[in-house]
Amino acid sequence: MERRVVITGIGVITPVGNNVPEFWKNLTEGHCGIDLIQGLDMGQLPIKVAGQVKNFNPEEYDIDRGSVRKNDLYSQYALAAAHQAMTDCGLVSGENIAPERLGVYVGSGIGGMHTFVKETTTLLEEGAHRISPLFVPMMIANIASGNIAIKYNAEGPCLPVVTACATGTHSAGEAFRAIKHGYADAIITGGAEAAVHPLAIGGFCNSKALTKAEDPKEASIPFDKRRSGFVIAEGAGILVFEEYEHAKARGAKIYAEVCGYGNNCDAYHYTAPRPGGTVAAKALKMALDEAGFTADDILYINAHGTSTPLNDKTETEAIKLALGEELARKAKISSTKSMTGHMLGATGGVELIAAALALKNGIVPPTIGLTEPDEECDLDYTPNKAVKCDLTVAISNTLGFGGHNSCVALRKAE
């Protein structure tokens, strides 16, 4: 028997806030978390801005100094967001959920970038015998899931996902399916990333993916004709998905119901989306069909909206194909990357949280910086100011290098 799945806990570490109230306030007020790059030697790279996490103190999230030394920054972000989500939901393994029924699906697109560079430098300067014995467990992209499982005694399914920028959304979608089909009663899910580093920035820059804009407020401008590339960012977004009857029985608060998931691949190019958005449209439609979406629903789409020329145009085409022209024009759409930048493997988790909060609070966060709309991006992208709207369905749409398309659909909690 298929079971219902709901969101009962959320936590964030982002460029616009390191807790949910601050994050949501800044999103709805249109504050930009993108700024000039701090604390990094960028050499001759022409990239000036990034979405960096500010004032992060691990101890505020029950991460002691020993754990800080043993965890790459991306894993610290994941643990911090998981701490918020688990505190929020009130689940305690062995008390109100069996350990074997609690799982963890938390991924990272890149993993321990800072650790990788640090230990490579040690290899080149001091030799292999000086490499840290913690190098591999700190670097690998699955370790955030492992560390979260250890901390919360989660003995159920533990499945980190790595699908580039679609990581957080795929993690959530697979968690939804696992609970829906009875493999767990609750799963801690989402994504984390800490790749704001000259190595990653150099790679993205030289592939012409990053904007060279110098004004932070005009750097990430999805769907604007002036857009010139994405802004790299960092952070984590973690949610607790729980089986509805389990949540109801313990009186848990519910943010939204998870009710649809689309997952497919463009199978076209390792970085560029398939022209026309035909396959991405199928992932969107897959999620909406499973959610029982109809013309009577009021839909919000948290778009992938990276501010790259190809993505925004192709995503617009995909939305029109999935919904049909009439419903596409009625949909409320925005890209919160205009405020956070692109958090790579973390972005799906963070944006699913934004979609859930939009649904719960009846507010569509804006796409800031959108002052010169591209004629090929001609839908309602909520320019510059949040809009109040009694939404019934919300989706988070995410696309990743390799052609990975992922979409999770939510319904307003009854």
Question: Which tens digit of pLDDT belongs to each residue from 276-285?
Answer: 999 999 999 9
Q: What is the pLDDT of residues 322-344, one digit of tens each?
A: 999 999 999 999 999 999 999 99
| pTM for this prediction | 0.97
What whole-number percentage of the chain has pLDDT above 90? 98
Domain limits of the chain?
A: 5-249, 258-412
pLDDT (0 to 100) of residue 407: 98
Q: Taking 90 as the threshold, does the pLDDT of residue 165 lie above it?
A: yes
Average pLDDT across the chain, whole number: 97
Q: Is the pLDDT of residue 1 over 80?
A: no
Please give the share of the chain, as a percent, with pLDDT higher than 70: 100
User: Topology of domain 258-412, per CATH?
Assistant: Peroxisomal Thiolase; Chain A, domain 1 (3.40.47)
Q: What is the mean pLDDT of residues 255-259?
A: 98
DSSP per-residue codes, 207-266: TT-B---SSGGGTS-TTBTT---B-BB-EEEEEEEEEHHHHHHTT---SEEEEEEEEEE-
* Pair of tokens at residue 402: 């390799």
Angle separating helix axes 167-180 and 347-361, nearest 10 degrees? 60
Q: Mean per-residue pLDDT for 216-240? A: 98
Q: How far apart are CA 239 and CA 350, in angstroms?
A: 9
The residues, ordered by sequence, that sit 6+ positions from 196 with a Cβ below 8 Å of its Cβ are 37, 40, 50, 51, 52, 232, 233, 234
What is the CATH number assigned to the segment(s) 5-249? 3.40.47.10
pLDDT of 414: 78
**299 φ, ψ to 5°?**
-105, 135
- Give me the pLDDT at residue 87, please: 98
Give catalytic residue positions: 165, 304, 342
Are 167 and 191 contacting, i.e. CB atoms less than 8 angstroms apart?
yes
Mean pLDDT in residue range 78-95: 98
Owner of token pair 């990743």: 400
| Mean pLDDT value of segment 397-405 | 95
- Report whether pLDDT(233) > 90: yes
Query: Does 359 have pLDDT greater than 90?
Result: yes
CA distance 181 to 196: 37
What is the pLDDT, as a whole number, of residue 271? Answer: 85
Confidence of residue 399 (pLDDT cuts 50, 70, 90): very high
From the DSSP assignment, how many helices (H) and strands (E) are in the chain?
14, 13
